[in-house]
Amino acid sequence: MTNHEETLPVLVVGAGIGGLVAALALHHVGLPVAVFEQVSELSEVGAGLTMYPNATRALEYLGLGDALAAVAVIPEDGGVRHWQTGELLRHFPVGSQARTRYGAPQYFVHRADLQELLVGTLRARVPGALHLDHAFLSYEEQGNQVVAHFANGATVAGRALIGCDGIHSRVRECLFGPDAPRFTGKVAWRGLVPMERLSEQQRTPTSCLWTGPDHAFLRYPVRGGRLMNYVAHAAQGAWAEESWKLPSEVSEVLAEFAGWDPAVLAVIAATPPELCFKWALFDRDPLPRWSVGRVTLLGDAAHPALPYLGQGAGMAIEDGMVLARCLALEPAVPAALQRYEAARQPRCQWVQRESRANGDRFFEADPTARYQDGRAQSSADLEQALRYYDATSVPV
């Protein structure tokens, strides 16, 4: 690496969870970094996230453990119920067992709370690193640097360019051309319910999944237990928009889940009208490669996965940690990005495949059979394989 190259920052496009964690990890290993986000103001977005130990382990390594614990909820227990009868098909403790078993806790957190924590930490540790109102347009490689061009006219040089700009990634399009997403035939509604609107029975266990024919309903607390977050999945016909935050009528969700356990309907009915959104689930096949020269992809830009394993944010966090380690270990940037891709691609493609398969399990006509014939054990084995992963020490 030349002296000039050493002074150049790693350019991170996108200030979502993956981009912010990548920036903090890069700073942690001693590399200069600059983050570019297209919006002019960061505002509250999204709803709940499940943070499994594979994700929280990396955040604790970056010194964010106490701050994360302050805004998150540790689930006491979890369960699976029959879609119609409400029968508890599976029950399992969580609490401190996650740290005991995996070395890191499991949390539920509001996406906006996590983003606010990451933004505040980045601004405190690397003042001036976050640049808003910078919509990425294109890039070009010039010798030992890559130059990014933005819609506001800015041109910035860096040693590497990381596309963390989500499922509609402009960086990915510049690398590999446009690719049309595929509608899965499934949609989901996201809702947030003030906890005081729910009875004690409707809140237990801490997290709960109802599964049934062509539908699934998952709910868990966020915001220190003040809000109940839910995601209501359904198989539906055609869909025109890929947005995950289209406002929806609560009555539409109630009609879709007619005949379900009254506890499910009670949570849906308690949703404030302004906190109900509809989300179409689109899918993309795994990319054969993520990197070209000094440019690579991270998180949903590289490997968007369906939500049925709850690992979208976790994979992006893992990516950011491994990427930073590769760039710190390997002086030649293109070689470092190849090491990152080789270390991450098999796991991320596996998660993409398993997320699809787990979605099919959610929509089984008779969920009772699944928890009586041993198939639930295969899910438990999958969960362990996901959660033991340590992005801070895995070979790269």
Q: Given a cut of 70, is residue 240 above it in pLDDT? A: no
Residue 72 has pLDDT above 90, yes or no: yes
- The larger pLDDT score, comparing residue 246 to residue 44, is at 246
- Tell me: the pLDDT tens digits for 206-234? 999 999 999 999 999 999 999 999 999 99
The pLDDT tens digits of the residues spanning 349-382 come to 999 999 998 888 888 777 777 776 555 555 667 7
pLDDT value of residue 118? 98
* Nearest by Cα to 230 from 15, 257, 382: 257
What is the C-alpha to C-alpha distance for residues 269 and 278, in angstroms, rounded to an integer? 15
Q: Which tokens hold the place of 95?
A: 């609490």
The answer to whether residue 308 is catalytic is no
pLDDT of 239 higher than 90 = no
Would you state the pLDDT for residue 372? 63
Q: What is the CATH number of domain 3-74+109-180+285-372?
A: 3.50.50.60
Give percent of the chain above pLDDT 90.
78
The pLDDT score that the predictor gives to residue 279 is: 87
pLDDT value for 374:
53
Q: What is the pLDDT, as a whole number, of residue 244? A: 53
User: How many whole angstroms separate alpha carbon 225 and alpha carbon 218?
Assistant: 16
Query: Which DSSP string corresponds to 203-267?
Result: H-SSEEEEEETTEEEEEEEEGGGTEEEEEEEEE-S------S-EE--HHHHHHHTTTS-HHHHHH
Torsions phi, psi for 178 (to 5 deg):
-70, 145
Range with the poorest average pLDDT among 123-127, 137-141, 313-317, 371-375: 371-375
Q: What separation in angstroms does the CA of 299 have from each of 21, 87, 198, 200, 303?
A: 11, 37, 35, 37, 6
Q: How many other C-beta atoms lie within 10 A of the C-beta of residue 241?
A: 10
Secondary structure E strands in 143-181: 145-150, 155-158, 160-163
Name the residue ranges covered by the structural domains of the chain. Answer: 3-74+109-180+285-372
Q: For residue 65, what pLDDT is reported?
A: 97
d(CA 110, CA 49): 6
pLDDT, greater one: 373 or 314 = 314
- pLDDT at site 8: 98
Q: How many helices (H) and strands (E) does the chain have?
A: 14, 18
Task: Tell which phi-psi region holds residue 223, choosing left (phi > 0), alpha (psi between -120 and 50) or beta.
Answer: left
User: Of 102, 107, 139, 220, which residue is the catalytic one?
Assistant: 220
Which amino acid is located at 286 in the chain? P
List, for residues 146-191, the tens digit of each pLDDT value: 999 999 999 999 999 999 999 889 999 999 999 877 888 899 999 9
Query: Exposed, middle or buried, 303 (CB in 10 Å: 0-12/13-18/19+)?
Result: buried
Residue linked to tokens 């106490």: 66
Concatenating the DSSP letter of every residue in 343-362 gives HHHHHHHHHHHHHHHHHHHH
Task: Supply the DSSP symbol for 276.
Answer: E
> Which of 241, 242, 252, 308 is closest to 276 using CA atoms?
252
pTM for the whole thing? 0.95
Mean pLDDT for 22-41 is 97
For residue range 83-95, list pLDDT tens digits in order.
Answer: 999 999 999 888 8
